[in-house]
Every structure is written in structure tokens, then in C-alpha cells.
Structure 1
Amino acid sequence: MAVQVAGAPDTDVVVVGAGPVGLLLAGILRLGGARVTVLEQLAEPTDESRASVLHARTMEILDGLGLLERLGPPPSAGPGHFGGIPLDLTAALPSRFPGQWKAPQTLVEKVLYEWAAGLGAEVRRGHTVTGLTVAEDRVHAEVTGPAGERLRFAAGYLAGCDGERSTVRRLGGFEFPGSGPVKELLRADISGIEIPDRRFQRHPNGVANSRRGPDGVTRLMVHQYGRTPGPDGRAPDFAEVCRVWARVTGEDIAGARPVWVNAFHNARGQAASYRLGRVFLAGDAAHVQLPVGGQALNLGLQDAAALGGRLAARITGRGDDRTLDKYHAERHPVGARVLGNIEAQAQLLFGGPEVDALRAVFGELLALEPARRHLASMISGVDGPRPAVPDTGTAEHSTATGPFTRTHRRTTMGKLTGKTALVTGSSRGIGRATAIRLAREGALVAVHCSRDTEGADDTVAAVEKEGGRAFAVAAELGVSGDVHALFLELEHGLKERTGETTLDIVVNNAGVMGGVAPEDVTPEQFDRLFAVNAKAPFFIVQRALRLLPDGGRIINISSGLTRFANPQEVAYAMTKGAIDQLTLHYAKHLGPRNITVNSVGPGITDNGTPIFDNPEAVAEMARYSVFERVGETKDIADVVAFLASDDARWITGSYLDASGGTLLR
């Protein structure tokens, strides 16, 4: 009997299923500080290697967790395809791992087991879940053990990663709309015989694919037109595979030795919700699809990464129930899109002569670079949300030689995991540093620029290099319709990546300097300063209130010039004084919603302008700070990150002096 502590669950999370999806989820939960027990029905790991490739987004996740070295690292698996039509997946949107990478599912499962168990996840094999009861504060799983004993496990949450015939999905009462199979594919790994390699070769009676691996084992797949699929979950014998192969190709493979044989079909289904209270679904438990092109395994591993970070944050107090709800909001649209493209591929791949014209048109389209990039990005998963996952640390590390050689900072489980943020003026300077810092804490960041789109794209690239998530939005501030244009792009970007338009954090950073003596300021310059520095932030806050949930954060970048005089910047200082008033009054107005509003006042900060390349000028400016140095953009970004976190929940309406003690002497 599972030992229970009075008044407390046995574990934080029970994960049902010790395949790659369940093991990755277990490891991420352990990294995030949660206790995990994995229950697996099989007494030993399967030797079936159904999937064999990893895509770019999955590679990024595994790299962030330091797992690629354990996988070999994986060699290139060559070009991909779309419905049997050649498609080079290196055409995907920028990624550190363009293309597809060879990693048999048996190896992935072995590596993930050793990693998760090494982190302290308890994996119990031979344990079959037979019942499920959800209480207000926990989940109870009824389990049959290896010797037939009846066990009971209590957990704060339970995740079903138990495959396409998921017991958790059935016992949990998840709705699972979809359609039944109409096409079947037989698959086998064989040795002891040589047959020609072919890539989804079309014949009058069907489609055949075969590829010999470096170990001498050939994987073949065959579909016969018009053949009725067998019962769900059946295991065909090798003689049946031989008969169908002969009908389609005319080749006799009866003399081969079968290593592994199975059948799969194009049934499709998707859970209406990936979360019901304290129970979650991930991988094939959440969606069933034809496993063409390796998308099924990759989709499941990405589900696990998205769920693991959020669930660990909730368990350890770094997130709330909204954090958990965002799992479904993010992953359900991604799953639906994958199911849609797989259905399209099934028609192209397994349709008879009636789809020849359609295949010809697709072939012409895939000769166009934008079409190749679009489909390659979709299959690789790089055009969707990037799951924020915890890591073993923040130290810089180097990976192996060849295409894996690079040094980068690992992403950590941060205090802003599951949050979204807008940072205006983040193509350079303080805004850029702030965007990178918030993303490092786990936030999805909208990187705004007025005109410097190249700089904004560079900030996004810097975020993604660290394993974070960001996207660029461009809208010039200080002109008519500026805020409307900004939020059109912002909401589109958020919806595309999270499935909703919730905005948790607003950082009003964008601004223009004056640098003109008081007597030389023109009305046009004065109006421009106020339009960008004061008017735009006011209406950005006003517009953002439609998207900000209770408990949101608003941080306005003010200036130390509101506290000490510099006549050359009097008009600029007036605009920042307006920002401080915006902060004060909105803080009182939004207090009932637990939305904090604060100002940060930088002093002399090296924002990359040419003056900071002059050592004498820098030395003179450093004299104004008690620390005898000029500020760095990261000094300000760290203050903003603090105010954006739950640590600053009791601070509002404040002006935080971030000037390094300027003019205290």
C-alpha cells in the first residue's frame, strides 16, 4: 500500500505513463521543485521505436535542459517531406537546430528515464491505473501493482501521458471528439535482406517507403489503396506485411527477419480540454493523429515542456490557477493545427490517382521559398509558442563540436513563468535589457519598436538564443493612431502564441530626449516630447487595462532628472514628471484590482550612445554616483524585473530611485 502522510498527498504529481512524454514531464517537474511519481503499466521499457526524428523546437527544449549530449548528440536525419512531397525542413524560421535529427524513440526514452530518475523522480513499472477520484484538494489514483496488489496514491495533481488509448482520459471524463480510421499503414523493421531505398514511392496499388539504417535494419512502410483498416490497436503478423508489400511493390520480402511490426491508421481526435481541474493530458493522451513525419512525438514532448514549467510554478507558489489554464490555451490550438496539417498530408500521401493533380500543385508551391518556409516552420514547431522550462542552472555552458558548438545561457524556471509582457522601446538600451531580463524569468515578451525593426528583431534573437520567448511589434509612438496600431499587432502576436490576449506586464520605456537649451526649445519639439514620453504611455495604460488581469504590473520608466536639475533637459524632465503623476494616480485607481503601478528613475546609464565611448566623459559622469561608475542597462532591467514579480506585490505608487545614488554627496 502506498504510504500516506496524514493530511498531505503522497506526492505533488502522479504522472501516468513512462514513455518519452511522461518522463520529460517528470524531469521538468523535478527541476521546478515538485515531487513526482511516475506509474507505468509495462514491466519493462518497450523495444518498439515508433518515432525516430526530433524537430527544431524539440531540439531547442532538450538543449536547454542539457540533454543533447546524452542523445549522441543526434545526427541529421536528412530532409523531410510534406505528404510524401520532399520538403527541406532547414527552410524553417530561424532556429539553432534547423532540419530534423535522428533519435530513435527507444534511445529518447532511455535518456529521459535516466535523467528524470537521476533528478529524483520515482518511476514505478508494472503499475496499472484502474480508478480515479478527484477531490477538492487532491487526486486519488486506484492502482494495481506488479503482483496484483491494490494500491492507492494521493497527489496534488495527475497528468495522463499514457498514449492514444489513455486510461486517464477515459477515467477523467475528458470529451474526445474526432473521426475514425479510413486508411491504414503497415510498418516493419526488418533485417537479413536488402531492398532498394525509396521515399514514399507511389505505385498503382499503393505507396511504399523503405530506408536502410546504418545498423543494417531497414524500416519499411506500406499502404494499399482501398484496404479497410484493421481493428484499433491490432498487431499484424509479418506474413500480412509481406503480402501487402508484394501487392504494392511486386517484391518478395518473406525471407527477411522481422525485428518489429505494427500498424497505424489515420484516426484523429483531440481532447476538448487538456485540463479538468487537477487532471491534465499531454501527448497522445490529449490528441491522436497519424504519426507521419515524426510530428506526434515532437508535439507530445512540447506538450510536456509547456505543462511541466507551469505545473511546477503552481506547486511551488510561483504561479496560480491562471498559470495552469494557460497550458490548454497554448497547446490546444497548436495540437489542432498539427492535426489539420497531418490530415492534409494523409490525403496527399495515401490518396490514389484522384490526388495526383493536387500533388502536382503542391509540388509547384513547394518550389517557392515562402511556401517552403511556412510549412517547414509549422512542422518544426518553431512558428508556435516556445515552452518555458526550468533548467539545472544559469551558468553559461558549451555543447559539443560540429553543428552543436556554441556557448549560451540556459533558460531557468523564473518568477515570471507563464506571464506575458510588453516592453515599449526595446530595440536598444534599457528597453532591450529589460526585454531580455523578463524573458529570462520566463515571460513571453512583446518587443516594441517605433522604426528600428532590425534592432527589435535583434532583441528577439537575443532572447531566443537564451531559450526565451519573444516577438517583435512595430508601431510609431507620438503620432495619430499610435496606440491602436500597437495593440493590433500586440494582440495578434499574443493570440497566435498563447491562444488569448492576456497581458500581465506593461513596461512604458519608450521615450525621446530633448538636449536643447530652454530658450531654444520650439513648440514642435515640446509637443513631440510630450506626445511620445507622456501622452503615449497614458493611453497605452488605458488601452492595456482591457487585457491586464487582476494582479497585473505596470512599470513606467521615469528619470533621475525629475529629482535634480539639468536645464538642457527641462522639457524632457517635465514629461517624466508627468509619468510620475501617471504612476501615482493610476496606482490608487487600480489598487482594488491588485494591479501595482510604479516608476523607475534611472540616472546616467550607458545606453550605447557615442558619448559612452569616450573614457574621459565616462569618468566625469561616474563622479556623480556614490558608486563612482555609470549605470548599465542591466542595472535598470533588474529593478524592473523585481517590480514585475510577485516579490513586489506590496509596492505601488512608488518612485524607485535607480540612479546609483546620483548627487547624494
Structure 2
Amino acid sequence: MAEARAAGSAEAPDVDVAVVGAGPVGLLLAGILGRGGVRVTVLERLTEPTGESRASILHARTMEILDDLGLTERFGPPPNAGPGHFGGIPLDLTAAVPSRFPGQWKAPQTLVETVLSGWAAGLGVEVRRGYTVTGLAETADRVRVTATGPDGVRREFTAAYLVGCDGERSTVRRLGGFAFPGSAATKELLRADITGVEIPDRRFERHPNGVANARRGPDGVTRLMVHEYGRVPAPDGAPPDADEVGRVWKRVTGEDIGGARAVWVNAFHNACGQAARYRRGRVFLAGDAAHAQLPVGGQALNLGLQDAASLGEKLTARIAGRADDGVLDSYHAERHPAGARVLGYIEAQAHLLFGGPEMDALRAVFAELLTLAPVRTHLATTIGGLDGPRPLVPPAAGPAVAAGPAEEPTATGPFTRTHRRTTMGKLTGRTALVTGSSRGIGRATAIRLAREGALVAVHCSRDIPGADDTVATIEKEGGRSFAVAAELGVSGDVHALFLELERGLKERTGTATLDILVNNAGVMGGVAPEDVTPEQFDHLFAVNAKAPFFLLQRALRNLPDGGRVINISSGLTRFANPQEVAYAMTKGAIDQLTLHYAKYLGPRNITVNSVGPGITDNGAPVFDNPEAVAEMARYSVFERVGETKDVADVVAFLASDDARWITGSYLDASGGTLLR
């Protein structure tokens, strides 16, 4: 806890982090901090949970976060909530989504809070209820928070950091001086949970006077939402009562629900806003304190929980002394663009969903677009939270790296939006490791996978400048990547590689999931058979055969069902070149690794395949010799030497869903060399 106990004060702060707000966002953040050994206290205005389930849907990314924290079993698990929608137009949220939890999952907010509260308490998190924050002051090494307790007595708490998770009317945001540009509400929607009447389920049913939605839960409670065209929030912000909901429902649907008993009633609106900064010194915002939006499709709650997961990991790393202050700045750099993107999508959905007859033509166009598979996948991936913008996160261990700006904000409309080049392809939302990708085929493969949307870990054994150059090339094209350095063929190589890999993945995605493993790293022999020494032989097998075997073995913890493994073999397993007999033997071992693991992992729908390049220009000096190149070109039926991108394209195909029916295969990528 080096940061929390920094010099500058005679005594350490009361806690490392104070969290204001014990809703789902605050509880998840507090639990993550407690899990990391951080001293944390939560201050909550309410003396008891509200019992209201304002939100009830969890999306794919959130479910992955909860699962990685070991929490999904505590939910029972939550049932699949059925098909989703975009602006009220049906949308299959499982459409080719790269997640082990595709779709949407029913989990009432009351259940989420109960699970997270129990989990956080078990980690030593203290939740103080009935405390209303009235003031805060920041000093060089702490934040002083003044709050009035349930007994009416004012108390002062000190913390190294303060996080406001206290909703769209955030006191922390106001007291902390955060700018919150946005737009006012122009539409009001009424929402209620009712019992005692039978009404048909309907899904955003459009009527001449408005839009109605109703769904009966397994507990017999029906949740309804209704918007009457032209209705705006009351000037004084007063909430409606059950009678008003009944009157509006009847005017829109013609149904009388006057005999219903209201479990709870509230109203929400389409006002939107976003904090200009998510961090000011030692004070942070997360969830609805950082962004206000129409709660359509559950995106607001999920966005907030993903804020908490990101900030929790970063604060833990900083307080533990594993990173410098740049890791905290990276929270805004990562989550502000994500929030702006979600708010933009919600704004579009609000127009489609609650616009009057003037929106019918646009809705018809969207409905037509949603018949296209790429559109469905793109929207499902975005709503599921699987398309996050490139995070700018310094390493959590070792020398801290400052996070530089990668995006240029420009003011458009009610709040700042960010223009960035994005990559949308067949691998969007997936993660990949390409060993030996600082040069040659590995470099081309890493770039190709990133162009398809994957977050790529670029591995090198020693060529750190080369790996950094590969990363820079990917990022220049708008892709996402980070470098991992670990020498292969030595003791502890796999452990060292995965230590760095998992750290990098968690910093950027919140999980250590690895969807694609490309075993590419290798060394050549180039020694006549009679001159191969035992030491050379052992080194070849250590790098080319042993390392891939144990990398794959270790990756089984990270590979989700449906993952991909591609092993780079060689055409030398199919034709003879005595100068490379030992090398060819190692690649023969790779083909056996492919064959046997393909059968072993088949039940999990993980494909394992080999790619066999032929003579490929990897930048070696020999390829600068025109005569040598002409001689080598004769081996291919195309009468040219291969380019690294020729092989990379084959690897990208095997990594995609297009190759889902191919496993245990050797794909000849030698340009027809084997036909000669």
C-alpha cells in the first residue's frame, strides 16, 4: 500500500479508497479493491437497499467480468433473458458474438446488489449506511470527506482516493467540480412493476399514441414501460404515481389496469450527459455519476459495472505500487470514449424507439439492415460491451510507462465525442497471442489479426525494438496491440510469457481470456546433418517443439470454448532438405501436436491446425540477392517466393469462424512447392 501511505502526512489516511454509493457499481468496485488487499469503505445515503430493480439485464462483457471474479455461480445462474433489440427492432444478441456469455442475462438489480454486497463483505469491505456526503477537500496526499451519519452527527473520513458511484445526481461530481455537459430531457417514460392483473406480453409495441412494453416474470410480476408521444418530465421533477401510470397505459394501449397493485413505480427520461473528465486529482467518477443516459436495453448498468472493473484494477495496481500515476489517467482515456460510444448508441435507439410516425421510414431501413449478418454482429458486439476502444494503460508491474493521447476529442453536440479509427472485422472482440511476432511471418500475422479486429499480444524473445515496431504499426492503423517479451527454450519460459500476457490482457479487457494462440516462434538449423551437435539439437527442440507444447498446455486455462490454435509448421515436413533435418524434425513434432490436440479439444469446439509455409521472404539477407531469389522462386508453381502476408492471410482464415469446420489439418501455404 505504498501510495496510500505516501509521505506528506504524519498519519496514513483512514482508508486507501472511499467509495460513495452502494449500488451495483460501487459494490463491484469495492469488492475488486478488497480482493486486491486495498482498504476500502463505502458510504451510502440510504439506510437500507431500495428493493427496486431499476435495471435487470446483464450483457456479455459484464458476465465475463463477473465470471472471472468467480461470481456467476452466486447468481444461480441468471437465466437467459431472451432476444435483444436495437431501438425496439428485434436483434439477436448472440449473433456471432465472441464471448462465452453471448446474449443478455436476466438479473434484477436487487439480486445483483445482494450478490455483490455479500461478496464485498466477505472481502473485508465496510459499507456504512445512512451517511450523506456534504463536503470534500483534497490535499496533497488524501481526500477529506465530510458526511452526516444516521444519528445526525457530522463525521470526517480521509482516504487516499475517493470515487463517486452515487448516480446521475452525484454529490461527489458536484462537490468535486466536475463539468457535466449534456442535453435536457425531451421525452419521459413511465415504468412500473405490477401484480394482480393479466395483460399480454408485448415488445415495444407501437400504437398511434405511443409505445408500450410488458413482460411477465416467473414470479408473477409484470414489468411495463410506456411512453406517450409528446410527454415530457414534470417541471418540478415529481415522479408519477400508480394511477398516472394506469391512465397513460390506457391512453396508449386501450387496456384498463386500474385493478393492479403497483410494487413500485418510477419515471425515466432521455436526458444525457457525460463528465468532461472521469478523474480530477484524487477524485474519480464511475457509473451514472460519470454519465447519464436513457436506460434502454440495460446498457447503463452494464456500462457502469465495466467502469468499476476498469477502475478497480487500476487503483489496485497504483496503491500496491505496481504502477505510477499514469495508470490512473488511463482510466479516463479508456472509459470516456467507451461511455461516449454507448451514449451515442442509446441516443440513436431513443429516436428509433420513442419517435412518432415520423420515424417509421427510418425504422424500416434499420429493420432491413438488421437482416445482414455483419450488421447484426456489429451491433450485438457493441451492445454486449465487447468492442471497447483501445485502452491506454501502462504496465501494472515494472517501470511505469506514461500513457500518451491516442485520440483527439472534438466537440459535437451536447458533449465531447472522440474521433478514432476503428477496426471492425471477423475477429472483433477477440484476443490473440502470436509468438515470435517481432519480424517475418509472425509480424505479418499479428498485423493481419489486428486488422480483423483482434487485440494482439506481440511476443518476442529478445527483439524488443522489433516487437515495439510491430505494435506501433498496428496502432497506427487503428488496431489494438501490446508487446510481451519472454525468451523461449529456457527454464520458466512459459510461466514468464503468460505472466506478462495475462497482465496485459487484464489491463486492456479486464480478463485473461485468450481466444487465439498462434505458435509461430522458431529457430532454423542450417547445419549439415553430420555437423549437428547435441546442444544445437536440444536448442532446436526446446524452442520449436517443447515451448509450443507447454504454451498450448498452459493456454488451456485461458482458451474459451470455440477458441483457435494455429501452429506454424513447415513444408520441410513434406519434402527433403538435409541441411535442415533437425529443424524439420521439430516441425514434424508440431504436426503431431496439432493432430492429437485437435481430437482432445474437439469437445470444446476449439480447432487446432498447422500451416506449412514454403520459401518465404522473411527479410533475411539472402532475399536481397536477385539471383538467389530467382532460384528459390523456381520451387513454387507460381514462380515467385512467398511473402509473409501470404501466410498471414491463411492464419487469419483459420482464426476466424469461417474455419470452424477445419481441425487437425495441415494447410499447405508453400505456393505449390509440394506439387513440384
- TM-score band (shorter)? 0.5 to 0.7
Deviation at 1:228, TM superposition (A): 2.2
Letter of the structure 2 residue corresponding to residue 317 of structure 1:
G
Q: Tell me what 1:198 maps to.
A: 202
Q: How much does 1:236 deviate?
A: 1.1
Q: Which amino acid aligns with 2:300?
A: A
**Is residue 210 of structure 2 the alignment partner of residue 225 of structure 1?**
no
8 Å contact kept, 1:43–1:126: yes
Relative to structure 1, the CA distance from residue 446 to residue 420 in structure 2 (aligned partners, 3 Å threshold; closer, same or farther) is farther
Cross-structure match for 1:250: 254
Q: Which residue identity does 2:106 align to in structure 1?
A: K
SS where residue 179 of structure 2 aligns?
A: coil
* Distance in 2 between residues matched to 1:259 and 1:363, nearest whole Å: 35
The residue aligned with 2:361 is: 357
TM (norm. structure 1) is 0.65
CA distance 1:420–1:356, shift in 2 (3 Å)? farther
Residue-by-residue CA offset, 1:222-245 (whole Å, 9 max, x unaligned) = 000012222475321011101111
The CA deviation at 1:183 is: 0.6
Which residue of structure 1 aligns with residue 193 of structure 2? 189
Amino acid at match of 1:301: L
Supply the distance in 2 between the matched residues of 1:303 and 1:289 (Cα, whole angstroms): 15
Partner of 1:62: 66
Instruction: Map residues 110-121 of structure 1 onto 2, 5 A cutoff.
Output: 110-121=114-125
Query: Match for 1:145 among 145, 149, 152?
Result: 149
Instruction: Evaluate the alpha carbon distance shift between residue 606 and residue 255 of structure 1 in structure 2; reply closer, same or farther with a 3 A threshold.
Output: closer
Of residues 68, 73, 93, the one that matches 2:77 is: 73
2:26 is matched with: 22
1:491-529 deviations in Å (ceiling 9; x for gaps): 4455x69xxxxx6x564989xxxxxxxxxxxxxxxxxxx
SS of the equivalent of 2:333 reads: helix
Partner amino acid, structure 1, of 2:363: R
Aligned counterparts of 2:467 and 2:321: Cα–Cα separation in 1: 38
What is the one-letter code of the residue matched to 1:611?
A: M
Matches within 5 A, 1:420-499: 448=437, 470-471=455-456, 487-493=472-478
Equivalent residue for 2:105? 101
Query: Do the aligned residues in 2 keep the contact of 1:57 with 1:386 (CA within 8 Å)?
Result: no
Aligned partners of 1:53 and 1:77 also within 8 Å: yes
- Counterparts in 2 of 1:610-649, with a 5 A limit? 611-612=585-586
| Paired residues of 1:201 and 1:209 also in contact (CA < 8 A) | yes
SS of the equivalent of 1:261 reads strand
**Which SS does the other structure have where 1:383 is aligned?**
coil
Q: Letter of the 1:471 partner, please give it.
A: V
Q: Pick from 258, 269, 275 the counterpart of residue 271 of structure 1.
A: 275
Separation of aligned partners in 2, 1:568 and 1:233: 87
Q: Is the CA contact 2:137–2:143 (under 8 Å) kept in the aligned structure 1?
A: yes
State the SS of the aligned residue for 1:199: strand
Please state whether the residue corresponding to 1:13 is helix, strand or coil.
strand
Alpha-carbon separation, structure 2, partners of 1:24 and 1:7: 28
| C-alpha contact 1:471 1:493 (8 A) present in aligned 2 | no
1:201 deviation in Å? Answer: 0.2
Aligned to 1:369: 373
Look up the equivalent residue of 2:254 and give its one-letter code. G
Corresponding position of 1:655: none
Distance 1:278 1:568, change over 3 A: farther
What is the Cα deviation at residue 7 of structure 1? 1.4
Residues 568 and 603 (structure 1), Cα distance of their counterparts in 2 relative to 1, 3 Å cut:
farther
Aligned counterparts of 1:386 and 1:118: Cα–Cα separation in 2:
33
What does 1:404-415 correspond to in 2, within 5 Å? 415=397
Contact 2:432 2:457 in 1 (8 A): no
- Mark the runs of 5 or more structure 2 residues left unpaired by the alignment: 1-8, 404-430, 460-465, 489-520, 550-568, 570-583, 593-676
| Preserved CA contact (<8 Å) 1:309 1:417 | no
From the superposition, tell whether residues 446 and 21 of structure 1 become closer, same or farther in structure 2 (CA, over 3 Å): farther
Structure 1 partner of 2:668 = none
2:94 alignment partner, SS class = helix
TM-superposed deviation, 1:415? 3.7
Contact 2:160 2:282 in 1 (8 A): yes
Which among 294, 297, 301 is matched to residue 297 of structure 1?
Answer: 301
C-alpha distance after superposition, 1:208-259 (max 9, x if no partner): 0001111111000000001222247532101110111111001110100000
- For residue 172 of structure 1, the aligned residue among 150, 172, 176 is 176
Q: How far apart in 1 are the matches of 2:473 and 2:286?
A: 32
Which amino acid in the other structure matches residue 264 of structure 1? F
Structure 2 letter corresponding to 1:104: P
State the alpha-carbon separation in 2 of the partners of residues 143 and 312 from structure 1. 25
Whether the aligned pair in 2 keeps the contact of 1:23 and 1:113 (CA below 8 Å) is: yes
Instruction: Tell me the percent identity.
Output: 66
CA distance in 2, matches of 1:318, 1:612: 39
2:474 partner letter: E
Query: Once the 2 structures are TM-superposed, how far is the Cα of residue 80 of structure 1 from its aligned partner?
Result: 0.3
Cα offsets for 1:540-567 (capped at 9, x unmatched): xxxxxxxxxxxxxxxxx998999x9999
Q: State the AA in 1 paired with 2:472.
A: F
1:473 Cα offset (Å): 8.2
Choose the corresponding residue for 1:48, options 36, 48, 52. Answer: 52
Amino acid at match of 1:339: L
Cα distance in 2, alignment partners of residues 54 and 418 from structure 1: 34
Q: CA deviation at 1:387?
A: 9.0
SS of aligned partner of 1:8: coil
CA distance, structure 1, for counterparts of residue 162 and residue 176 of structure 2: 10
One-letter amino acid of the counterpart of residue 151, structure 2: A
92 and 116 in structure 1: CA distance in 2 versus 1, 3 angstrom threshold: farther
Relative distance call for 1:8 and 1:73 in structure 2 (3 A) is same
CA contact under 8 A between 1:138 and 1:156: conserved in structure 2?
Answer: yes
Q: Deviations over 1:13-32 (max 9, x none)?
A: 00000000000000000111
1:240 corresponding residue in structure 2: 244
Contact 1:143 1:150 in 2 (8 A): yes
Q: TM-score, normalised by structure 2?
A: 0.64
For 2:375, the aligned partner's letter is A
Q: Distance in 2 between matches of 1:348 and 1:298?
A: 21
Q: Distance in 2 between matches of 1:70 and 1:127?
A: 28
Q: Which amino acid aligns with 1:151?
A: R
